[in-house]
Structure 1
């Protein structure tokens, strides 16, 4: 099945773009790649990547932009440092109305694949799951959609293959909560004050839970072996040389060059292989 690759790039991750974009496109193999970022970043890199379509994040919607989200959070809780996180979630959802293909894959720019990846099994879309569980996400979903957590694992990953029509349904339901407000505001209003400044809404858990309740037959769960690189534990030299043997994807916040003793790396490598040996895939 054809799909579009959509990568939102936040200002904090712009330095990773040049390092990661080539490997992502190579191993994901989309029919089209769209990068969504602020105008300053697009101006810096657009000419270097003529095969990529760039879109200014401020042109996605007439209402929602970084200024709006900062003002919303500032007025509600007195701080606005999470505006960028909500902007990233909004981009992944609203792109359903922009995508030129029925499916689009959102991918985090801080994450690289180590080998060619497939996102389909015959006619079913593969849905990656992880072990995370954050109760406030589901409290928010209960208020918005009367949906509860039904799958034992989490849908939060570094990527998500989205059916644009299903995401449009979710957006319409969010809009119908209060027609006088923007649908994203309805979603944010449903988050407790205690969590709105941290993590109270997840586009991954919302989409995944909605699919589980309504379109379970279109998707099939799968597990990606993923690791977040920590320069305090493993040197980048050893990581790059050996890690692709055991992980499908890795995330990098920084590319540090610390040197950790080889025996610590060997222990990490051995422990991961043991986990993979004993792993059992969870079905729907």
Structure 2
């Protein structure tokens, strides 16, 4: 099954996004990379990415018709009395709206721009079901909004929220059209979601695009998605800083991780990073001397080149 890859990138993430794209290109078979960001950020990113990578710029300010970040901020202030998380909500709406892009494929993989892939993973089983990494829990406020906006109860015990999710374009388009149909006259689907958050008096954790799409999918197509558990880590910056190298990659691969995120909020002391990087080097050379894990070392080197 062919698919495209979509990254929604904040300008401050462009350096780690270069590493992310390299890892995805190395391990996956994505047809095209769609990067949703500003024009300046995309230009800076493109200069650092291998020219053979099929990068497509998607302007965050024009992807959603008549609804850019300033409109999200305005709507949140009117509906909820605050808009301090407008950027966070906006990037979720963008990852939904890209389904309407004329060049996007029938399936697209949404992937966090600060998350590196560490091994090859599959997204479809033999029967064509979409594989995803289920998470525990899930904020009740997300499910309350789904009920309010769509009239759908929570469909599964696990959460769809993750660093990535394979999307069926036709189903996401159907979700957007359903929101448009349920919205009051002359109200866009984005404004309707914000309006629903206002009705539910949510502001911090009021909406999740993955939770909404996943439960919409489960409601209409119960067996479309199939859980597949991956070993992941989020605090990459805490241990390796924002510039992981082949030694860090090898250590993570050798310990069975499939992917790791590097979030700025997890940055820690320089001393801790130096200590962990020294551990990674010792770990790398230990197995090199033993002559073990040659394939993993090769992958780690390729990712860091």
Counterpart contact for 1:232–1:258, Cα < 8 Å = no
How far the C-alpha of 1:233 sits from its partner, in A, is 6.0
Q: What is the CA–CA distance in structure 2 between the aligned matches of 1:13 and 1:196, rounded to whole Å?
A: 28
Q: What is the CA–CA distance in structure 1 between the aligned matches of 2:228 and 2:208, rounded to whole Å?
A: 20
Residue in 2 aligned with 1:217? 223
Q: What is the CA–CA distance in structure 2 between the aligned matches of 1:133 and 1:27, rounded to whole Å?
A: 29
Give the 3 Å change call, closer, same or farther, for CA 180–52 of structure 1 in structure 2.
same
How far the C-alpha of 1:230 sits from its partner, in A, is 5.2
1:64-122 CA-to-partner distances (Å, cap 9, x unmatched) read 11111111223334432211111111111111111431111110011111011211111
Match of 1:121, SS? Answer: coil
Matching residue within 244, 252, 261 for 1:243: 252
Residue in 1 aligned with 2:84? 81
Counterpart contact for 1:188–1:196, Cα < 8 Å = no
1:217-251 CA-to-partner distances (Å, cap 9, x unmatched) read 33222112111125556786775441223211111
List runs of 5+ in structure 1 lacking aligned partners: 267-284
Answering whether residue 107 of structure 2 is matched by residue 90 of structure 1, we say: no
Give the 3 Å change call, closer, same or farther, for CA 172–47 of structure 1 in structure 2.
same
List runs of 5+ in structure 2 lacking aligned partners: 281-305
1:20-77 CA-to-partner distances (Å, cap 9, x unmatched) read 2211222232011111101221232334444311111112122111111111223334
Please give the root-mean-square deviation of Cα atoms over the aligned residues, in Å. Answer: 2.5
Matching residue within 139, 143, 146 for 2:144: 139
Give the 3 Å change call, closer, same or farther, for CA 12–46 of structure 1 in structure 2.
closer
Q: What is the CA–CA distance in structure 2 between the aligned matches of 1:39 and 1:233, rounded to whole Å?
A: 32
Counterpart contact for 1:46–1:54, Cα < 8 Å = no
Residue in 2 aligned with 1:277? none
Q: What is the CA–CA distance in structure 2 between the aligned matches of 1:93 and 1:170, rounded to whole Å?
A: 9
Task: Using structure 2 for the length normalisation, give the TM-score.
Answer: 0.78
Size of the alignment, in residue pairs? 264
Match of 1:54, SS? Answer: strand
Task: Using structure 1 for the length normalisation, give the TM-score.
Answer: 0.84
